[in-house]
Amino acid sequence: MPISPRFTSIYSSNWEINFIQCYPNGQLKHTELCNILQLTAGFHAEMGGLSFTDMQVHNQAWVLSRMRVEVTELPKWRDCVTVKTWIVDMQGSRSVRALELYVGDKKMVSSLTYWVVLNTELRKPETLALPFEHFEVYPKNVPTEKSFSKINLHVATTFLKNKVVLLSDLDIVNHANNVKYLEWCLDCLPPKTIYKNSIKAFDMNFLKELHWGDAIKIQATFEEDPNQLFVIKNDVKCFALAIEYS
């Protein structure tokens, strides 16, 4: 697709929160929050000529490598939210993208994401084949208090549950969608932890792809509300989640 005549380097999209996206207490699910953030990023990329369809001409796709989300408050059912996004840095095979979510003038969520160009045939990173110089970058405009981090993988953990990757876990890139990793981990937390909105921030590191039929296990540090959770296949950590509680 050509670059949209409406393309701007800072983009915003409006969303109304529906009941399917919410926990039983009416708050937006953390997984659905991440979906909204990433869909907004996808719309911006599409307007700038870097959509999945554009990139598949060269057997390429954006995949998420790291993501930090800081939450002041979760939106609720029927809230109308605005998500703003822009590029902090973009070079060769990678892009750092910022996102903010507002209800009215109140900022509730900030996020910083790190994306890598994946060759979907070779399943390895490579340099972006499409032009991107029309995207202005804003290296000083970082929305989060902390940057995304490399999570320590060498911590003592305990087993939580086994799982097999299902068809419903896959996305258009034919691997487990990144939000599914978060869902698997959060489903292991006590519901009260979610309902009282005690998660103030979380970092995600996506380390290895998972595919249909993969047998995996979820492990976590030993606290009742664990601060680190991992998705593991054949004793190799494929995903790491670090949670900061209020």
Tens digit of pLDDT for each residue in 73-126?
999 999 999 999 999 999 989 999 999 999 999 999 999 999 999 999 999 999
What pLDDT does 1 receive?
Answer: 64
What are the structural domains of the chain? 1-145 (3.10.129.10), 149-246 (3.10.129.10)
Which among 164, 180, 162, 181 is positioned nearest to 239, based on CA atoms?
A: 181
Three-state DSSP at 19 gives helix
What pLDDT does 224 receive?
Answer: 82
| Residues contacting residue 58 through CB under 8 Å, at least 6 positions apart | 129, 130
How many CA atoms lie less than 13 Å away from 18 in the CB half-sphere?
3
Q: How many CB atoms lie within 10 A of CB 25?
A: 13
What pLDDT does 225 receive?
Answer: 84
Contact between 46 and 1 (Cβ < 8 Å): yes
Distance CA 113, CA 66 (A): 6
Q: Mean pLDDT across the chain, nearest whole number?
A: 95
168-197: pLDDT as tens digits: 999 998 999 999 999 999 999 999 999 888
What pLDDT does 2 receive?
Answer: 81
144-157: pLDDT as tens digits: 999 988 999 999 99
pTM: 0.94
Token digits for 227? 């601060």
